Amino acid sequence: MAFPRIRAVRAYVVRGGGADYHDQGDGHWIDDHIATPMSRYPEYRQSRQSFGINVLGTLVVEIEAADGTIGFAVTTGGEPAAYIVEKHLARFLEGRDPTEVEKIWDQMYFSTQYYGRKGLVVNAISGVDLALYDLLGKLRQEPVYALLGGKVRDELTFYATGARPDLAKQMGFIGGKMPLHHGPAEGEEGLRKNLDELATMRERCGDDFWLMFDCWMSLDLNYATKLAHKAHEYGLKWIEEALSPDDYWGYRDLKKNAPTGMLVTTGEHEATRWGFRMLLEMECCDIIQPDVGWCGGVTELIKIANLADSKGVLMIPHGSSVYSYHFVITRHNSPFAEFLMMAPKADEVAPMFHPQLIGEPVPVNGKLKLSDSPGFGVELNREVGLHRPYAR
Ligand SMILES: C[C@H](O)[C@H](O)CC(=O)C(=O)O
Ligand SMILES: [Mg+2]
């Protein structure tokens, strides 16, 4: 079957929420004194926006085929990523057969390797790769999960990330992952406050509900080990992203030192098969958490997930809405998924990438059946103020 060639690639920037989910208004739980690597500076402790967590904004990539079919995706990366897509990556797609997914990925990655490999450049590559999958699904009139081998279960099961695991439990989620609020610079008092919050949630949620801490790269090995042992008393299920993503040695030691039964998880700021190979071969964690919009897209996540599978390690992607849902439903080593609570008080289920996606599905009672609409099953909301800074 012949497909129309790719006619054009376009990269837009959008501000406010959506894929840049840290770009929220005042008073949102996601910006309320959350421990980060910048918490050692008191002036950047109260708000992550104060050090620029939302400085980039959303990247929207559109890929148009010669017959007018358009695939699109949203991720983070904003204007610098839009530059990379338009000025560098577009050449590997325009005029090409959209089924050449592997070759296009390889050319995007190796042509940018001298300044890329991780971070922003791989965000940009991921955005293009996801848009290409959306286009392929639309051209084939199939959902992306069908392109990936089909569902291994009927519905997705979710845990919730947010400040209110107690409310998440009432909403039907299987667990609640809370942000850690105080880092090592806040000393013993901060540690006690962290544990008090966990104790309160354990009290409200009962013994069997999963509770996890997301440490967002904020700790050192000593603090993380101490936190893990003290939190074990309250049945913490996992300790997430405790250390810098570059500290593979620290993760290896944390996993060795963590209490029996507590899982060590990480990987949302890791990228590509090579980064995850380090995490897996050094036995750094029990669960890897790639973000499909940041780790290299679906094409790379296939390789990462297979590596994890071969080691018996679970792969529970970070956030990323429909882009991860279509993957998770096809994998035996991804038995559940993450849902980020984007309501400012984490007191109701709201679409994760609102307002950028139209038709974005959300869990009901902690479960979701994916529709069989083509591609990722969502449309781009063109009312959000798309800006194309590097139009060619
Ligand atoms: C809550 C975390 O600090 C972060 O905003 C989201 C995240 O790391 C996760 O969902 O995982
Ligand atoms: Mg996290």
- What pTM does this model have? 0.98
Q: What is the pLDDT of residue 34?
A: 98
- Specify the pLDDT at position 262: 98
ipTM value, please give it. Answer: 0.99
Q: Whose CA is nearest to atom 5 of ligand 1?
A: 30
Distance CA 281, CA 297 (A): 22
pLDDT at 24: 96
pLDDT, position 1? 76
Ligand 1 center–CA 216 separation, angstroms: 7
Atom 2, ligand 1: residue with shortest CA distance: 179
Q: Which two tokens stand for residue 124?
A: 């940009």
Residue 332 neighbours by CB distance under 10 Å: 11
Which ligand 1 atom minimizes the distance to the CA of 178? 1
Residues having CB closer than 6 A to ligand 1 are 30, 34, 161, 179, 214, 216, 268, 318-319, 338, 340
- Residue 123: C-alpha distances to residues 26, 128, 144, 293 (Å): 26, 9, 20, 6
pLDDT digits (tens, 9 = 90+) for 272-322: 999 999 999 999 999 999 999 999 999 999 999 999 999 999 999 999 999
Do the strands 357-358 and 210-214 form a parallel or antiparallel pair, or are they unpaired? unpaired
* Cα-to-centroid distance, 4 and ligand 1 (Å): 39
In tens, the pLDDT along 180-230 reads: 999 999 999 999 999 999 999 999 999 999 999 999 999 999 999 999 999
Cα 250 to ligand 2 centre (Å):
17
Q: What is the pLDDT of residues 252-274, one digit of tens each?
A: 999 999 999 999 999 999 999 99
The mean pLDDT value of the chain amounts to 98
- Residue 22 assigned as binding residue: yes
Q: Which residues are catalytic?
A: 318
CA distances to 91, 150, 193, 209, 271 from 186, rounded to whole Å, are 49, 48, 10, 28, 31
Q: Which domains does the chain have, with CATH numbers?
A: 6-20+56-141 (3.30.390.10), 148-373 (3.20.20.120)
Are 2 and 76 in contact by the 8 Å Cβ rule? The answer is: no
pLDDT tens readout for residues 102-124:
999 999 999 999 999 999 999 99
**pLDDT category of residue 360 using cuts at 50, 70 and 90:** very high
End-to-end CA distance of the chain: 31
Helices 119-140 & 101-111 angle (0-180, nearest 10)? 160
